[in-house]
Amino acid sequence: MTAERSNDEAAPDVLTVTSVIDSRAHKVIDSELCAPHAVRSGRYEALCGHLVAPAPLIDADGAPCARCVQLDPTPVAPPARRRRRRGLRRLLPV
């Protein structure tokens, strides 16, 4: 998923996929997920060059791959402002 990244039209969508081989969360460009060779083999090339055999999507992400983080072409989005909801805090006990 593209968490903490901006949706710039020029930048490709980058998804995080955890590999069952090394249990690391690698960055994969969305076009790689649809590439014919990847669809047939079920393995996707990460930004760092690692061939990712994806872990089940219900598993938590592994530790991030440092090389993929360095090579991620999408710009970091500014932190989102969090809206405070006060109405429910008054009605519901903590």
**Confidence tier at 10 by pLDDT (50, 70, 90):** low
Number of domains in the chain: 1
Rounded to an integer, the average pLDDT of 75-92 is 60
Lowest pLDDT segment from 34-38, 46-50, 64-68: 34-38
0.85 surpassed by pTM: no
Write the DSSP assignment of the chain as a string of letters: --TTB---SSSPPEEEEEBTTT-EEEEEEHHHHT-HHHHHHS-EE-TTSPEE-BPPTTSPP-EEPHHHHHH--SPBPPPPPPPP--HHHHHS--
Strand partners, 54: 19
- Evaluate whether residue 88 is within a structural domain: no
- Evaluate whether residue 93 is within a structural domain: no
Rounded to an integer, the average pLDDT of 20-31 is 92
Domain region containing 55: 1-76
- Evaluate whether residue 7 is within a structural domain: yes
Give pLDDT, residue 92: 59
Give pLDDT, residue 76: 62
